[in-house]
Amino acid sequence: MIPRIKYPYSWVGHIPFTFFLVDFFKPKLIVELGTHTGNSFLAFSEAAKHFSPSSKVYGIDLWQGDEHAGYYEENVFFELEKHVFENYKNQSFLVRKDFNVAVSDFEDGSIDLLHIDGLHSYEAVKNDFETWKSKLSDEAIVIFHDIRVFNYDFGVFKYWEEISTKYKFIYEFDHSNGLGICAISENTRNHEFFTILNIRSLRYIFESYGNSILRDIRIVNRLNHFENSYYIRIKKMIKKVWFFLKGSKN
């Protein structure tokens, strides 16, 4: 099933691929750097719950925001924490630490899937990858979000260009701000996975399905906005009539 989704929606289009990725590799340990409202984290959690029950999923963030994601209130973390506890207890965990501090909580060679989606400057993304690289298993997959964002001071695309020249198994999605997928080693399993990804129709399927989820969310939001606006207006009219009649009695 589709996991709980909250604004911002820039990652939503990659939810179908997330399920395919987790189902294919069944990673024992999934770590996400930069969780925010939890769309990607909950996609990993939901996929693991159904396709890889023995997986553990960790979302790491300070939940304070930054100049790219914007700054936000404490309720963002607490709402996500409540949802995780109610739906993914004992499988998914939120770690409220700086990335450079949290790295010491994980053993070398233990992470099978690393998602980098924190501060998006070139220096920050490079630091995230190089700091966590020793924690990756021999068969690890690393994914980078926002490789197709070229405005402001986003530098993910620059670092992704460098990564793409260093590793053999590389794949890119252009939709939903872009997603880069990188295999650390050249084993048979990774070769099979990236061969599958290069089937032309599969790219279209993932992109179309992802965009359909995003489209449905926007339609529901518009309907809710319409309903809320409509009922608020009706409520005001009823109050107006009520106070008018009450006043006329006096």
pLDDT of residue 121 exceeding 70: yes
What's the confidence (pLDDT) of residue 218?
79
Q: What is the pLDDT of residue 72?
A: 73
> What is the phi/psi pair of residue 116, to 5°?
-105, 115
pLDDT number for residue 226: 59
Output the pLDDT for position 73.
Answer: 82
Whether the link from the prior residue into 16 is cis, omega within 30° of 0, is: no
The confidence score (pLDDT) of residue 50 equals: 97
Q: What is the pLDDT of residues 180-234, one digit of tens each?
A: 999 999 999 999 999 999 998 999 999 999 999 988 887 777 766 655 666 666 6
| CATH T-level fold of 12-207 | Rossmann fold (3.40.50)
Residue 248 has pLDDT above 60, yes or no: no
Residue 35 pLDDT > 70, yes or no? yes
pLDDT of residue 42: 98
Nearest to 24 by CA among 197, 169, 179: 197
User: What per-residue string of b and e applies to 224-248 under the rule 16 or more CB within 10 Å gives b?
Assistant: eeeeeeeeeeeeeeeeeeeeeeeee
Position of tokens 């499988």? Answer: 91
Ranges 4-8, 46-50, 62-66, 145-149: which has the least confidence = 62-66
Q: Is the per-residue pLDDT at 249 higher than 80?
A: no
- Whether this prediction's pTM lies above 0.85 is answered by yes
Torsion of CA 96, 78, 90, 28, to 10 degrees: -50
Selection from 141, 210, 223 nearest residue 173 by Cα: 210
The single-letter DSSP state of residue 152 is: T
Q: How confident is the model at residue 170 (pLDDT cuts 50, 70, 90)?
A: very high
Q: Where are the domains of the chain?
A: 12-207
Among residues of the chain, what percentage have pLDDT more than 70?
87
- Residues near 134 by Cβ (< 8 Å), separated by ≥ 6? 108, 109
pLDDT tops 70 at residue 27: yes
Q: Which residues pair with 173 in a beta bridge?
A: 179
Block residue for tokens 């460098």 = 162
| Dihedral-angle region of residue 68 (phi above 0 means left; psi in -120 to 50 means alpha; beta otherwise) | alpha
pLDDT score for 219: 78
67-102 pLDDT, tens per residue?
655 667 889 999 999 999 999 999 999 999 999 999
Question: Which pLDDT value is given to residue 2?
Answer: 81
